[in-house]
Every structure is written in structure tokens, then in C-alpha cells.
Amino acid sequence: LTATFFSLSSSGSEVGGALRTVMRVSRVSARLYLSDLDSALNLGVLTSRNVTLIINATGRRVVSYPALDGLQVLHVPVQDQPHALLSPYFDPVGERIQQNRAGSTLVHCTAGRSRSPALVMAYLMRFEGLSLGQAYERVLECRPFIRPNAGFWRQLIEYERNQSGQNTVRMVRTAAGVLPEALLDLDENLRGPCASR
């Protein structure tokens, strides 16, 4: 059993454990999942979803994934900090997800709330033609607790402008600080429904 690694530079009861795993793994589309680190280390999660590519968006390069034939891991070494540069990875990660025809892709960070959702939203904009607002709504419907940090939002807004020449989300000043308006006013109309788990 072997896993191929790439790097980009610039428990409770059995029933309770199964429930926690379901809550930690979110299906964005037929072959694309979002999760936290613990779920990405779970052999059952990987095999039941036919995961052949893991996008590791944690700061940790050394992660002991289950040994599976053909499993590839792409490491995105970015910390979850507003000043961290995630946008240089939007295209390489999106291209790897798009090229993975052997099975499913699991994109994870530590909690599955900031880095990995931001990468998936960039993928949805480029390869599924969604606006940033639509990509956010799609991922939010699948994983209701996402919260990319303000710096990642700014990078996604710039990425959308570079992709389409327009912006569907803007940063606004609130009592809680500068936030993307998508967090303040969610549109109920999604381009397409989130795939069921």
C-alpha cells in the first residue's frame, strides 16, 4: 500500500463516533468533499468515499494518512491567519481537483472552517462557473459552520474579479469589524443544490 505525496511551496461510542464523522465530512459534489483533519485520517471516511486525492491545507507537512493504494496528497502549507497568502494555491489546487478522475477528492484543514472552504470556493468559481457569492452559498449549505478569515475573503474577492471582471461580494465595516457582506446577507437562491451526503 502506497501513498504519493506532493507539496506546493511559495472518540466516544461507535454510534457517537459515526455521527461525529458524518458532521465532519461534507459532500460538496459527487466527487468533492470537505472535512477536518481528524476525518481525513479515518480509513473508513476515505474508503467509503473512494478518496484518491487529499488536499492538506494545514500548516503540518507530516501527517500520517491511512495507507491506501493510489492515494495522492497535495500539501498547501498555509496558516489560518488573515495575512497568510492562500491565493497562489487557488489555481494549482483547482487544477488537481479537476484532474482527479480516479476517484474523489477530500480537501481538509484543521477544522474544515477556513482554509479548505476557501480553496473549494475558488475551485467552484473557476471550474463550475459560480460567482463567489454562489460558491459561498453552495459550500455553506453543505457545511453550515464555515468561516474563512477576512484575509482569505479579500483574496477570494480579488480572484473573482480576476476571473470574471466583477465582484459579487464586498467587504463591509460592521460592529464586529470588517467582514464580507456574504456573512451578513445570505441569498436563498443557490445555483444548484448541495449533493446529499
Task: Report the DSSP beta bridge partners of residue 51.
Answer: 104
**Pair type for strands 104-108 and 71-75:** unpaired
Which residues does 63 contact at the CB level (< 8 Å), separation at least 6? 37, 40, 41, 56, 73
Please give the grid coordinates belonging to residue 165: 471582471
Residues 63, 106, 186, 111, Cα dihedral to 10°: -20
Distance, in Å, from the CA atom of 105 to the CA atom of 97, rounded to the nearest integer, reads: 6
Task: Let me know: does 130 contact 159? Beta carbons within 8 Å.
Answer: no
**Pair type for strands 51-56 and 104-108:** parallel
Q: Which residues are catalytic?
A: 109
**Pair type for strands 171-174 and 177-180:** antiparallel
Task: Report the DSSP beta bridge partners of residue 7.
Answer: 75
Distance, in Å, from the CA atom of 136 to the CA atom of 94, rounded to the nearest integer, reads: 16
Cell 460592529 belongs to which residue?
175
